[in-house]
Amino acid sequence: MPSKSAQIHSRLGHPVIDCDGHLFEFYPLFLDYLKEEAGSGAADRLVKSFSHSVVGSLWFQLTPEQRRERRITRPGFWSVPTRRAEDLATTILPRLLYERMEEIGLDYTVLYPGMGIGAIHLGEEELRRASCRALNRMFADLYRDYADAMTPAGLIPMHTPAEAIEELEFAVGKLGLKVVMLPGYVRRPIAEVVRKYPDAARHAFWLDTYGVESEFDYDPVWAKCQKLKVAGTFHSLGSGWGSFTTSTSFMYNHIGHFAAAGEAICKSLFLGGVTRRFQLNFAFLEGGVGWARSLLAGIIGHWKKRNVAALDNYDPRNLDLDKFGELMARYGGELIGKYGGKLTLSDVAHRFLPAAFKAFDRDLPSEDLNLLDEWAACGIQTVEDIGTLFAPFYFGCEADDPVTASAFDPQHNPLGARLNAVFGSDIGHWDVPDMTEVLEEAYEPVEEGKMTPDDFRNFVFTNPVRLWAGGNPDFFKGTRVESAVKSILV
């Protein structure tokens, strides 16, 4: 008997495009590719690097006291479902996934790596670049024969624009991969800590998110993505930084960490004016859409109150000192009386205004007036411009996420927006214990009246098409969904 997901799929009248499935790298084969790229010693170095990462084994080797003392982040207990052998095998074997697509309820899937999510953040340059290159070659070879139903995401390291561009040219230009996964951030050392406390430097870092205050100009990377017709997609972990660093609770570290990582890069790209300068789609995967609603609202609210014209409301030169002094004298007698009536108007202004202002003599804080417009890179003139600049962003939502329906609620979304939620099955990860139930679970909001059939169509078909084919009209050429996609692209 067909699975319930397959039954639902048969009634839809449109394809289901999965924007975020997961594969499980077959480790022995990967090591063969890695040895070709970096020699036989690379495998040992990789194991050592991974053992010290958030997803590594170091935590399990330490006592509770050592974990707390060293602040080793608690990883999860096994990251893939194992009760159903066919599901575990499906994440490893492309041919098995190909045969089970109908049972799962998918027409086409984009597959993101498992181990590769960590490899792309490795600190050692040679190992990072060799691992990404090896994985990209392996993915291209393994999935080439199944291109009508699935495509793997190539890994693009981003520690420098040069390494990103080089791998983009290889993965997309030479191997023919048409989806790329970029790291959502690069951990950079804090220069002063490196200089003064070199032994502690590895514990102190800041996140470079490429848009605001980046170490490099990443515009050449976005230009290369645009030229190669690939969307910039991000699937980085938030675990291991910020508040996601407990040594005892994986649940505390996991809940919300993808959203935090997505918000960091999304906010940076927006404020850095990247969507103003480039015609390029971006996707932030597995974090849902709730944070995106809040971010859009926050951008709108902050622009209204802190655009360069509105800053006039806070300029200390505009303060009516006579009126301020009169009010202080009339209503602040008890406060001023404590100083024996010796406070002058100058004292009052200096002591009762924020310390950063030298308002009495009308000096501004030590601020470059040309830098006061923090929205300059966005070129925003009206609130509606914000919606336009936010439109290239797409948000990966899992089947069991109850917040997804809100993406299609213009009555309550800022600017009456319908946010670009895209379906991510997340097959291959622990939160999908049964692959055949994914579409069934994603469809529940429709059955419960929380999402209309048209909303669902946008979620699993229209928005994914626009994400992938928006910059590359030939993305779905030769696939099972080619003819259906044409109706969207017209």
Task: State the DSSP string of 35-103.
Answer: HHHH-TTHHHHHHHHHHTSTTSSHHHHS-HHHHHHHTPPP--S-SS--SSHHHHHHHH-HHHHHHHHHH
Q: Where are the alpha helices (DSSP H) in 231-279?
A: 250-254, 257-271, 274-277
∠ Cα 477 480 483 (to 5°): 65
CA-based nearest residue to 24, from 438, 400, 395, 435: 435
Each residue's pLDDT tens digit, 287-310: 999 999 999 999 999 999 999 999
Q: Sign of the C-alpha dihedral, residues 227, 283, 261, 124?
A: negative
Same domain, 338 and 410: no
pLDDT at 359: 41
Q: Please count the structural domains in the chain.
A: 2
Q: Do 296 and 351 fall into the same domain?
A: no
Say if residue 89 is in the same domain as residue 174: yes
pLDDT at 350: 57
Half-sphere exposure of 179 (CA within 13 A, CB side): 29
Residues (pLDDT < 70) of the chain are 50-56, 316, 333, 335-370
Q: pTM for the complete prediction? A: 0.93
pLDDT tens for each residue of 407-457 = 999 999 999 999 999 999 999 999 999 999 999 999 999 999 999 999 999
Tell me: do 198 and 120 sit in the same domain. yes
- Please tell me whether residues 393 and 294 are part of one structural domain: yes
**Whether 274 and 322 share a structural domain:** no
- Output the pLDDT for position 177: 98
Residue 146 lies in a domain: yes
Instruction: Give the pLDDT of residue 357.
Output: 47
Q: What is the pLDDT of residue 56?
A: 61
Q: Do 208 and 331 fall within a single domain?
A: no
- Domain range enclosing 9: 4-305+383-489
Same domain, 296 and 350: no
